[in-house]
Amino acid sequence: MIAFVLFKCIMILPILFLVTISAASSAPINLTCDHARNPAGIDNPQPRLSWIIPNTNRGEAQTAYQIVVSSSEDALKSDTGNLWDSGKVASDQSTLIRYAGKPLTSEMRCYWKVRVWTNLGQSQWSAPAEWSMGLLSESDWKGKWVANRPKLDDDETLPLNKRGRGADAASHVLQKTPGPLLRKTFVAAKSIKRATAYICGLGFYEMRINGAKVGDCVLEPSYTKYDKRALYVTHDVTPMLKQGLNAIGVMLGNGWFNCHTRDSWDFDHAPWRDTPRMLMQLNIEYSDGTSQLVVSDESWRTAFSPITFDGVRNGEEYDARLEQRGWDTAEFVEHFEGDAELPGWKPVEIVDGPKGRLVAEVAPPVKVMETIKPVKVTEPKPGVFVFDMGVNMAGWCELKVAGPVGTKVTLRYDERLHEDGTLHQSNASHLASGEFQTDKYTLRGVGLESWEPRFTYHGFQYVQVEGFPGKPTLNSLLGKVVHSSFDKAGDFECSNELLNKIQRNTVRSYISNFVSYPMDCPHREKNGWTGDAQLASETGLYNFNTTANYERWMHDFADCQRGDGNLPGIVPTGGWGFDWGNGPAWDSAYFLIPYYIYLYSGDASVLQAHYEGYKRYLDFLASKSPDHIVTLGLGDWCPPQGGPGGHATPAALTSTAYYYVDVKIAAKVAGMLGKGEDARKYNALADQIQKAFMARFYDPATGRFEGNEQCGMATAIYQGLLPESEKRKVMGALVEEIGNRDGHIWAGILGTKYLINALTNNGRADLVYTAATKRDFPSWGHWIEQGATTLWEMWNGDGSRNHIMFGDIGAWFYRALAGINPDPDKPGFKHIIIRPQMLGDLKWAKGSHLSPYGMIRSSWKRSGSGFELSLDIPTNSTATVYVPAVSEGAIVESGKPAAKSDGVKFIGIKEGCAVFEVKSGHYEFSAGK
């Protein structure tokens, strides 16, 4: 009998082994190239490849990988890497592996897959992924820049930027220039294998083939400093072509390339400013191996479009009577100028392109991401109708209307109403000419007409409609929410509904203020204010996969930086913002956002790529701070009292602190690059700045800083300038000052971020919770009590009502309440610090974040007199977990004593928590009191 049982056990062992291997053999998923899935037209010669290992087994970790990259799908199917076969590489790295194969050339298509080995076995090959290369050399472009220049009066023969700033008498010659249509027909004579279009249309373009729009993106390409860099976009248009006669059509808008109305930031005098123009190249690959190029050149024809006016801050005017139906089809018959009532067609004009070099657009583009219906329509005056969209948003409205030919319907957008219920365009003050956020549509007079703008967007909650024939209904308008189409990366929710509303408002403000680049507000300015962006970037990185968008924006910093190292307050810029005194709190976005990319994604390449720019900027600051004190800067902008600049904390205090932080980051990057001498120099400089800061601003007798505000104390703590020996004293003074303000955070945009983090990192997250749940002035809840659906610019409600600069509270929800934190020593969530805080009346909280290694989940709830914590740690990651308890003996994990559970190691008791190290997998911790 014993022998029989032994025989059965021996026979079962191989089966158990196979089951174990099968459980470990899940193929890698979520393959990305340069942070994107299957990107088209990249120009990085050594793209970075990443993947995720599905989380199916506790304690699983990668031990090796093999990548194969091939030039064809067939070669890849045979597991042949004819471009690169890494071989089996012993490594736990599953993110950002640099391509190291044969040189990549223009238009090359690369197909790749990966398999991994883990401590539990070998995986199958992943599903295939791909990327394609763009046009890597200027000589690869065979087309010419084409345009349809308007006829100008004798004194209006040159674009504004070529006539200087003194030409204000004719400063809006281009204001009423209709948008151009460009078209070409061509024959595709053979069976088509693949067709790829490369296009740069400035300022914005919409490309159409055989009557249909190419892609679902809007407001392309992204705004850049066009005299340094212009972006082209790659489209796979294979399904849109047919064997035989085809037609390409392109509509152009002014965008930021021809910002033709006067404003406070001098965009009408930008050095690149000129009429819209386009460069296009279509490569058709035939099934027989031959190819054909169709390019923009003299053979194209042009006419003016029904878009009679467009301005990125002004709006768009469209006359449907001027439509030429089918203009983008091969069957369309052109008529020449003067032959008909409609605008005539003529040869295009060959023009110069922008001075900047052409670079591939690789960040997620802008799209219509959501459609929403209005919640209410009123008629405050006869014939004046006001639609309430229910939320503050960025985008525009689609109009549906039927009426007589020539009827003009006007849509005005903004976020406030007058007391009489009409629209209050309170954000128009910085626009010195032209209408503000106003679209106009002239009807064709044929049935139900539907229209929406193409080359503008607005920030608004309310839309005032005038000239509508009859009375509109709620179905007459449809809101189009527009922002960069980055993937969602996180979710947060808790038992306190006020905090959930703040989270939703924060996310809505973030996306409203990211329309190809991060900006301050989507209506009044649309400017890339750098301080606003850096303050909200961690919130963005928790909620969305914005790495590629930020990486692209950093190139704009490099393009805008002056030779002496100075940076403007807005990026990109047409020249404004260098001498406005924004200072290091704004400029430090150039350092901090790449650092946050490194912290949250593990990608150090952005930091490293801009090291020389960092050196120039630090040299510039050094020239402005002979005693290591930086006196320029805006300071703690928009505090509760005294208007935007009403802070008592000296701007020199916050600016010098950022100087210190920037120097520390430069030292770190120097170390990464193996520049030891630079690292030592910058670390020594940081020490000198720290000593100068404390000597200048600190009162050791009181533990307070100059200005005697919360901001000054929080600055020293959060930015790392405060010696450990003084921390208890300063924390005591800070807590006292918060008490003096009845538990409110009493600070502007800088101090608010500092306070949230300084208090949480030093054991007083309870005070942040108290402030976050306030409903009176100043607080996020006070905004919500007044009906806010986004974050506002000022605590008192003045100014914009869609600003993101107070948005770091959203990151705090993830860090403190859900407890999901990156480890700076192992960035990119390679190691995770899980430390949820049970605060106030909070009964439960849960958060998730898609890290480079997979989904992190943290969910906790109070259970009777105890605490339950559910966790998911991705494969190839580990975590330190803090469980509120006085001893490890009271903690159970998945039904076992936690210290004895598989994959769990007890570390010790720290600050009221039992601390454990855990491997990847799913965990259920519970603790009784």
Catalytic residue IDs: 525, 793
Is the CB of residue 716 less than 8 Å from the CB of residue 730?
yes
Closest CA to 477 of 390, 547, 415: 390
Q: Which amino acid is at 675?
A: K
Distance between CA atoms of 704 and 710, rounded to whole angstroms?
9
Which residue is it, tokens 């430090």? 588
Question: With the CA atoms of 499, 503, 508 and 511 taken in that order, what torsion angle do they form, in degrees rounded to the nearest 10?
Answer: 160
Is the CB of residue 179 less than 8 Å from the CB of residue 270?
no
Which residue is it, tokens 């203020």? 513
Closest CA to 810 of 495, 539, 541: 539
Q: What is the DSSP letter of 529?
A: B
Residue 484 C-alpha from the chain's centroid:
7
What tokens were used for 834? 């899980």
Which residue is it, tokens 């001027």? 322
Is the CB of residue 415 less than 8 Å from the CB of residue 802?
yes
Distance between CA atoms of 146 and 355, rounded to whole angstroms?
15
Is the CB of residue 208 less than 8 Å from the CB of residue 249?
yes
Residue by residue, DSSP assigns 215-264 as SSB-SBS----TTTEEEEEEEE-GGG--SEEEEEEEEEE-TTTT--S-BT
- Angle in degrees, CA 100, 101, 105, rounded to 5: 110
Q: Which amino acid is at 172?
A: H
Is the CB of residue 486 less than 8 Å from the CB of residue 437?
no
From start to end of 135-179, where are the E strands?
A: 146-147
Distance between CA atoms of 892 and 912, rounded to whole angstroms?
17
Distance between CA atoms of 166 and 563, rounded to whole angstroms?
27
Is the CB of residue 874 less than 8 Å from the CB of residue 820?
no
Closest CA to 349 of 143, 142, 141, 149: 149
Distance between CA atoms of 252 and 275, rounded to whole angstroms?
10
Q: Residue 886 CB: number of other CB atoms within 10 A?
A: 12
Distance between CA atoms of 927 and 826, rounded to whole angstroms?
28
Closest CA to 928 of 877, 864, 842: 864
Q: Note the helical H segments in 478-529.
A: 497-512
What are phi and psi for residue 105, nearest 5 degrees? -115, 170
Closest CA to 749 of 822, 810, 808: 808
Which residue is it, tokens 């067709």? 195
Q: Which amino acid is at 9?
A: C
Q: Specify burial of residue 883 (Cβ count, 10 A radius: 0-12, 13-18, 19+).
A: buried
Question: With the CA atoms of 708, 709, 714 and 719 taken in that order, what torsion angle do they form, in degrees rounded to the nearest 10?
Answer: -70
Cross-strand pairs, 292: 284
Is the CB of residue 353 less than 8 Å from the CB of residue 279?
yes
Closest CA to 472 of 414, 403, 559, 385: 385
Cα dist from 314 to 412, 423, 435, whole Å: 10, 16, 5
H/E element, 607: helix 605-609
